[in-house]
Amino acid sequence: MPTSSAPERVVVTGIGIITSIGHNITTYWDNLLAGTSGITRITTFDPTDYPSQVGAEVKDFDAKQYMDPKEVKRNDRYSHFAMAASREALKDAILDTTKLADASRFGVIIGSGIGGIETMEKQAMTLFEKGPRKVSPFMIPSLIANIASGIVAIEFKAQGPNFGVVSACATSCHAIGEAFRFLQRGEADVMLAGGSEAAVTSLGYAGFCAMRAMSTNFNDEPARASRPFDLNRDGFIMGEGAGVLVLETLSHAKARGARIYCELAGYAATCDAYHITSPDPEGKPLSKCITQALADAKIKPEEVDYINAHGTSTPYNDKFETLAFKRAFGEHAKTIAISSTKSMTGHLLGAAGAIEAAVAIKAVQTGEIPPTINYETPDPECDLNYTPNVKIKRKVRVAISDNLGFGGQNAALVFRALD
């Protein structure tokens, strides 16, 4: 436990990524910088009768490389992704969890916005076609949204804080922020934190298509479909995968000689309290969230160099998020480099915050900023610097990742170079 009232400093030492454009942080980052799209026509199911027919699927993924084959059968695809990303994160951190001095100070917070929807679909069909006695005894634990966090903790013997966060598309941003708080308070030394999602299913698509939330104008040109902040954006593109970070107290990381990416310095969460699906039209609660996260980090707005935006490619989100940035940063908003990597990965719902926090972290580490691809026609209402189409080099000492979720949830994380 800490010997003073000062909060522990928290650092990032490992990043695990499973996405349509990479199954590890190196491949993911290289593809982002190159502007590579992972969006194609859907292959998981026949999308012919669906208004939106494209998505960012994780391909060439073998869960048995990361989990015991029996556990693969017992768990949903979203948990497969979570386990894979956790293994990748620990590998990246060069951290052998069996050598941790106290397992009760090692925790896991991995969330999912939806959980095991594939399991729900399959077991519902079993019920309707074969009757209740044929429903799997593993159905309930497989589909619940906290089980990924549970199975990862079991695998790596993490006996510290453990739960799943469910806050729609802000899920993994909240998960990382809550893990940050446990470390700050000295209640843990190491935390695995992030999110996982596998909602590219027939039911998942039917639901979002019914809401008219997804793009329908680019079914014949999938790679052009996700176009955040562009005038011709017409909806988001579903993605799948997972992102997990290894977070440690600075003292713990230094004691084991860890490679440190950067410091996680601030976190905040607010609610729009406006509408179940639409963001606040003036961007005030999101702006407040960003302002509070900066205050938590003791960083001035003018010190921010980069924002990885939520940038969903929906008409309302991108417009209102731009307003929030202007409220939070004033004139400085015009000089900040902003990008939405959803233009390449699609929208991973509950996993979005983690794979996008990874972008902010890498921007601080490398001084490179990935582009927003498909930015072709400027929108007068989205008039900031969205890093159009080509990566840039720029010194990044402070970066923000923000996320919004249905229900009005907002979350923001602040990363900075370690002094």
Does the pLDDT value for residue 304 go beyond 90? yes
Residue 22: pLDDT above 70?
yes
So what's the architecture of 10-255 in CATH? 3-Layer(aba) Sandwich (3.40)
Over residues 214-241, mean pLDDT = 98
Reported as a single tens digit per residue, the pLDDT across 99-141 is 999 999 999 999 999 999 999 999 999 999 999 999 999 999 9
Distance from C-alpha of 73 to C-alpha of 124, rounded to nearest angstrom: 17
Does the pLDDT value for residue 3 go beyond 70? no
| CA pair distance 114, 234, nearest whole angstrom | 23
Give mean pLDDT, residues 264-293: 95
Confidence check: pLDDT of 271 > 60 = yes
Mean pLDDT across the chain = 97
Question: Catalytic positions, please?
Answer: 169, 310, 347
pLDDT of 2 above 60: no
| Percentage, residues of the chain above pLDDT 90 | 98
344 contact partners, CB below 8 Å, separation of at least 6: 21, 31, 32, 35, 36, 37, 38, 39, 56, 226, 370, 373
- How buried is 134 (Cβ within 10 angstroms: 0-12 exposed, 13-18 middle, 19+ buried)? exposed
The model's pTM is: 0.97
Average pLDDT score over residue span 202-216: 96
Domain 265-416, CATH number (from 3.10.20.30, 3.60.110.10, 3.40.47.10, 1.10.1060.10): 3.40.47.10
> Can you give the residue ranges of every domain in the chain?
10-255, 265-416
For residue 4, is pLDDT > 80? no
Distance CA 151, CA 161 (A): 14
Give the pairing type, strands 10-18 and 306-308: unpaired
pLDDT at 1 > cutoff 50: no
The confidence score (pLDDT) of residue 93 equals 98
Same fold, 10-255 and 265-416: yes
Rounded Cα–Cα distance for residues 274 and 411 (Å): 16
**Residues 6 or more apart in contact with residue 327 via CB below 8 angstroms:** 282, 283, 284, 287
pLDDT of residue 5: 74
User: In sequence order, what are the beta bridge partners of 30?
Assistant: none
Q: What is the pLDDT of residue 365?
A: 98
